[in-house]
A and B are shown apart, each in its own frame.
Chain A
C-alpha cells in the first residue's frame, strides 16, 4: 500500500504515450486560450501537441484527419466530478462508490487509488469530448484530496496526472455535523485543525515523545494539511451561501492558503470581492433552484461573475449528468456569457486554476495532445465529438451504451 502511494505521489508528469504522428487539417481551431484559427492545422506527435496554426507544415509520416467544416478544440476539462470512482449512488440498493472515507476529517485520503480505469462512466464521458477531470472525494468537512486524471489508460498510473491536485473542504449545510451542528462550529474546527497542523509541523519530535497536548486530528491528517498551509496545494472549498463564501475568504486571509471556490451559487452577490481577491470559481450554471443553503441562486451566476473579472470554470455537479458538461457551457452562453469565455471555462481556465496550464487546457505546442474534433459548435445539442484524442491517441467512439444501441438496433433477436 505504502509503496503505491509513494509511486503515485511521484507521478507529476504525463506518461509518454507511444503514438503515431497525426495532423488534423482544415478545421476551425479554437485553442481554448482565446484564439480562433480558420482552416487551421493541429499536429500531434508522441502524445504532445507539436504545432498549431494556419500555415503549419504537415510531417510526411502524419496520419491526416480531415476536419474541413469541423470545429477543433482542446479536450474538455471537467473541473469537479466523481468520474472514475463512482457509478451507483447512495439511495440505490447498491453503491459503487470509492470516493468516501468514514469520518469528517480525511485530509490524508486520496481518491486516486480508488479509481477504476475500466469503470463504464469513463467511455461515456469521453464520447462527450471530456478528456480530463478533477475527480473529487466527498463527505464530511475535509473529504480528502482530489486527483487530476486524463480519461484514458488501463492502469491507475496511466490516468493520474496528479493524485493531490487539491485538498477539498466543505463549507455548506452538509458539513455542519462536523462543527457540532453549526457553521460557526465548523469554522472553529477548521481553525483549530490548521493551527494544530502548524504546531505539529514545528514540534514533530515533541509529538513523537508524547510531550504535546492532544491535537485536533491524528498526525496523518495534520501532516496532510501542511501542503495547503504552505501554499503548495490549493484548498478547493465548496460553499454556496454568501456568508459561507465570505467565511472561506476570511480563512484564506487568516491562513494564507490558495483558495478555489466551487458551487458558489450566491457568488454573483459578491462578484467584485471575489475578483479583487483573485479567487477562481467552479460553478454549475444550471443550478438555480433556491435552498436555504443558497436562496439567491440564479441562472446567470456564471455571466455575472465573469463580467466582474472572476476566473470562472464550468462544472456539472450532478452525478447522473457529468456527460452534460458542454450543455452546461452552452447554457452559460444562453444566459449571457460569451462563447469564448464559455469554451475557456471548460478548457484553459480550469487548467490555469489547477496550475496545469503548461500541460492542459489549450491547443498550444508542448501541451498534452488531448484534442477533440466536433461536427459543429461543441455546445450545440446537434453536435457530436467525431474524434477524441487523449495523449495523442484516438480513443474509440464506443461505450457500453453504444454496444447496447447496436445490439437493439434490430429487435428480431
Chain B
C-alpha cells in the first residue's frame, strides 16, 4: 500500500463508491480520489472509514435556460446564451445548444445565470439560529490548540439559516470552527440541501481544511493559560507542528511496513500530520498584513502551504506577496473597525488584490451576508471601479464561485459553468451585481433546491415548522 493512499485513509475520506467522476482538476488542486481500504494485520481505527459522505444526487429532469446573460466564471460574459444541464452535470453553454428530450424549458430573457455561489467561510450549522448558548458549537475554546475537533461534528442540519442562504443562491459552503483557537480544527465542505444528517451534505471527495487563527482572538480568549501575546501565538503554532513532524515520521514509518504494533493514535497530531502531507488545506483567519507574512514563514518552516487567508483585512498592503505565494485572500467587502486588527480595512481591498494578480474571494462569515454575497461582490467591484481600479463582472463573479471552489479544492468539480461540471446553477432576475436582483431558481447538482415562485421548492427546516416565518421575500 502506498504512502499516499494511507494518508488518504487517515484523512477520513476513503469511502468506496462516493467519489464522483471528475473532470480534470486544476493542476494545483490536491487530488482526492477514493483510496482502497488498507490491509493490515492489526485492527487500527485510523485506517477505517472516517465519517464518510453519504450524499447522493437526486435524479432530476434535464433543464435548458434560454436567452439569458451567462457569467460562466471562466471566460467572457455570454449575452443571449443558453445553458443545458442533465444528470447533475452541465452539458452545454453557448448560443446554440442541443437540448435533450423532456428538458424543462426556462425563458431567461432579461435574466442572468451564474454558477452556484460558494461561501468558503461560514459558521452555519455550528452557530445555528436561534443563537442559543446550547447550540453555540463553533469554538472549542477549552484550549488553544484543538486540531482534533471537526466542524462537522457540531453541524446541525436543521439550522433555519440554511434555507435563507439557499435563497441567496448559495450551493456549497465551507463550515469552519471559530477563530478562538490557534488551531481550531477541521473544516468541512457541504452542499446546501435539505438533509437529516451532516453526512448527507458532505461534498464527496472534498479535502478537509484546517482552521487556524492569528491575532487578537486566540490571545484574548486564552490569556489566562496562554498564549497572551502574538509571539505566544507563533510559539503555539510552532510547538504543534514540531510535534506533528515527529508523529508523521512515526506513522509513515509504520505505514510503509505495517507489520508491527502501530504507533499510538493522537487525534490532534493526526490532523496536523495530514496538513504536513499536503492532504488538508490550511485556512488561516488573519487580519494584519505583517501577521500574514509571519504565517507564510511558518508554513515555509514546516513545509506546508496555506491555501487561503480569511478576512485578510490588510491583504491590499501585501497583495504582491499574496499573489506570489498563490494564497487566496478571502475577504469581506468592507468590515472594519470592529477591533484594532480590523482598523485598516478598506472597501477597495478586493480590487487592489485583484489588480496585483492575487486570488480574491468574497466570503460571508455571517448568516446575513451569506444571503447576499452577490451584492457584497458587486459592492467590492464597484468600490474598485469608482476608485479607478477596474474590475469586470467576469472577474467579480469568480470571487464568489470558482475562486472559493479553488480554496476548497473542489474547482475541478464545481465553481464554473463548463460541460462536465456539477450543475450548480443560479437563475437571477437581473444583473446579480444590482441591489435589486433576486435569485429566482437555484439548482444543486441539477436538483431544483429553490424556486422563489413555488413554496414547494423552498426548504423549510424542522425548526421552521409552526414557529417561524418563511423569512424569504416573494
Contact = CB atoms under 8 A, between A and B. Distances in A.
B468 A295 contact: yes
A408 B435 contact: no
Given A290-B129, A330-B435, A408-B316, A88 B471 contact: no
A4 interface: no
B264 interface: no
Contacts of A210: none
A292 B385 CA distance: 42
A299 B472 contact: yes
A334 B435 contact: yes
Contacts of A321: 335
Contacts of B386: 375, 382, 384
A94 B473 CA distance: 38
B164 A288 contact: yes
Contacts of A375: 386
B225 interface: no
Contacts of A281: none
Nearest to B334: A323
B335 A320 contact: yes
Nearest to A327: B435
A257 to B, nearest CB: 30
Nearest to B464: A290
A135 interface: no
A292 B371 CA distance: 20
A88 B347 contact: no
B344 interface: yes
Interface string A293-317: 0011111100100000000000000
A333 B367 contact: no
A93 B340 contact: yes
B161 interface: yes
Interface of B is mostly: loop
A382 B391 CA distance: 12
Given A290-B467, A401-B347, A381 B434 contact: yes
Interface in B424-443: 433-438
Interface in A377-413: 379-384, 401-402, 404-405, 408-409, 411
B19 to A, nearest CB: 35
B130 interface: yes
B338 A319 contact: yes
Interface string A356-384: 00000000000000000001000111111
Contacts of A331: 372, 375, 435
Given A289-B164, A382-B382, A336 B435 contact: no
A401 B336 contact: yes
B352 A405 contact: yes
B435 A92 contact: no
Contacts, number: 141
A381 B375 contact: yes
B347 A291 contact: no
B367 A297 contact: no
B268 to A, nearest CB: 27
A99 interface: no
Contacts of B467: 290, 295
A89 interface: yes
B319 interface: yes
B216 A289 contact: no
B471 A291 contact: no
Contacts of A381: 375, 378-379, 382, 433-435
A68 interface: no
B217 to A, nearest CB: 9
B41 interface: no
Contact of A401 (B160, B219, B346, B471): B346
Interface string B102-136: 00000000000000000000000000011110000
A93 B464 CA distance: 36
A87 interface: yes
A94 B340 contact: yes
A87 B470 contact: no
A108 interface: no
B456 interface: no
B469 to A, nearest CB: 4
A93 B342 CA distance: 12
Interface in A150-166: none
B300 interface: no
A120 interface: yes
A166 B336 CA distance: 29
Nearest to B319: A411
Interface string B328-354: 000000111111100011111000100
A179 B114 CA distance: 51
B94 to A, nearest CB: 28
Given A299-B472, A334-B435, A404 B346 contact: yes
A286 interface: yes
A121 interface: yes
B340, B469, B472 pick with most chain A CB within 10 angstroms? B469
A172 to B, nearest CB: 13
Nearest to B386: A384
B368 A286 contact: yes
Given A92-B338, A289-B129, A298 B216 contact: no
B317 interface: yes
B220 interface: yes
A273 interface: no
Interface string B392-433: 000000000000000000000000000000000000000001
A318 B379 CA distance: 18
Contact of A292 (B132, B336, B473): B132
A335 interface: yes
A200 B468 CA distance: 44
B387 interface: yes
Interface string A76-90: 000000000001110
Contacts of A408: 316-317, 352
Contact of A405 (B132, B348, B470): B348
B43 interface: no
B471 A292 contact: no
A228 B171 CA distance: 50
Question: Looking at B336, B371, B437, which has the most chain A CB atoms within 10 Å of its CB?
Answer: B336
Contacts of B318: 411
Contact of A88 (B338, B352, B469): B338
16 contacts: A91-B339, A295-B468, A297-B469, A297-B471, A299-B473, A303-B473, A320-B337, A323-B334, A330-B436, A331-B435, A334-B435, A334-B437, A384-B382, A404-B344, A405-B346, A411-B356
Closest 9 CB pairs of A and B: A92-B339, A330-B435, A299-B473, A335-B473, A300-B473, A296-B469, A298-B469, A381-B378, A290-B468
Interface of B: 129-132, 160-161, 164, 216, 219-220, 316-320, 334-340, 344-348, 352, 356, 367-368, 371-372, 375, 378-379, 382, 385-387, 433-438, 463-464, 467-474
Interface of A: 87-89, 91-94, 120-121, 124, 286-292, 295-300, 303, 318-321, 323, 327, 330-331, 333-336, 375, 379-384, 401-402, 404-405, 408-409, 411
Given A286-B368, A334-B473, A382-B433, 11 more contacts: A88-B338, A93-B340, A94-B339, A286-B371, A289-B161, A295-B469, A327-B379, A330-B435, A382-B378, A382-B385, A405-B387
